[in-house]
A and B are shown apart, each in its own frame.
Chain A
Amino acid sequence: GAVVSQHPSRVICKSGTSVKIECRSLDFQATTMFWYRQFPKQSLMLMATSNEGSKATYEQGVEKDKFLINHASLTLSTLTVTSAHPEDSSFYICSAREFSNTEAFFGQGTRLTVV
């Protein structure tokens, strides 16, 4: 399958700081990227959908000013957690899709710990 690379795999940050997570499609152009969050023993919860060159569409209950998503190119999307708090600690996963009728492939995930 296609390769989606997510970086960093782990990050620890202090409360009040911002953290940027990158998601890259390595061998295809991702017209759409999705950002998920997973709490322990829970399902993957979709946070937002972004199309290249457009503003992201956020799911209900997700603060767009807190979770900034940028999809400036067909191979890169970033998620910035602004003014992070301990309750933002979670596993964040991106997925990328080339066309609307193709499978979405997932990155390796990022474990964010806010102390």
Chain B
Amino acid sequence: DQQVKQNSPSLSVQEGRISILNCDYTNSMFDYFLWYKKYPAEGPTFLISISSIKDKNEDGRFTVFLNKSAKHLSLHIVPSQPGDSAVYFCAASARSGGSNYKLTFGKGTLLTVNP
């Protein structure tokens, strides 16, 4: 049973436009959410996170929105740049569950930004 779902395996956008990557989760114990960016044959790089006490967190071109009632979060990238082309993973954890909180990852969405 997949607790973190990224239903779009791929997304293609034009440079300068907005990229919206979506993520749904099922475990109501999750209280911390993260987005990672991954290039082929490399480890994931942390992008941005959000705690369940917030509904929005912004860092430069990246904004993450959290809708707890819908168990849904999204990552907005604006404006999108060709260098943003990568696989984006959504991850969630239950920080209140103990010090060894584990990350549960979605399957990722391949974003392609076309020049």
**Which A residues fall within an 8 A CB radius of B?**
1, 4, 6, 9, 32, 34, 41-46, 49, 51, 57, 91, 93-95, 100-101, 103-109, 111
Chain B residue at minimal CB-CB distance from A101: B95
Contact of A100 among B46, B89, B100, B108 (CB under 8 A): B100
Q: Is the CB of A57 within 8 A of B100?
A: yes
Q: Is the CB of A9 within 8 A of B41?
A: yes
Q: Is the CB of B102 within 8 A of A49?
A: yes
Q: Is the CB of B46 within 8 A of A44?
A: no
Q: Is the CB of A1 within 8 A of B103?
A: no
Interface string of B33-52 (1 = CB under 8 A from A): 01010000111111001000
**Shortest Cβ distance from residue B81 to the other chain A in the assembled complex, whole angstroms:** 20
Q: Is the CB of A34 within 8 A of B46?
A: no
Given A109-B42, A111-B41, CB of A43 within 8 Å of CB of B107: yes
Per the 8 Å Cβ criterion, residues 63-115 of B in contact with A are 89, 95, 99-108
Which residues on the A side are within 8 Å of B102 (C-beta)? 34, 46, 49
Known: A44-B105, A101-B95. 20 other contacts (CB 8 A): A1-B45, A1-B46, A4-B43, A9-B41, A32-B100, A43-B2, A43-B4, A44-B44, A45-B105, A46-B104, A51-B100, A91-B41, A100-B100, A103-B34, A104-B103, A106-B36, A106-B44, A106-B45, A108-B43, A109-B43
**Shortest Cβ distance from residue A98 to the other chain B in the assembled complex, whole angstroms:** 12
Question: Complex: how many Å from CA A106 to CA B46?
Answer: 8
Residue B9, interface by CB 8 Å:
yes
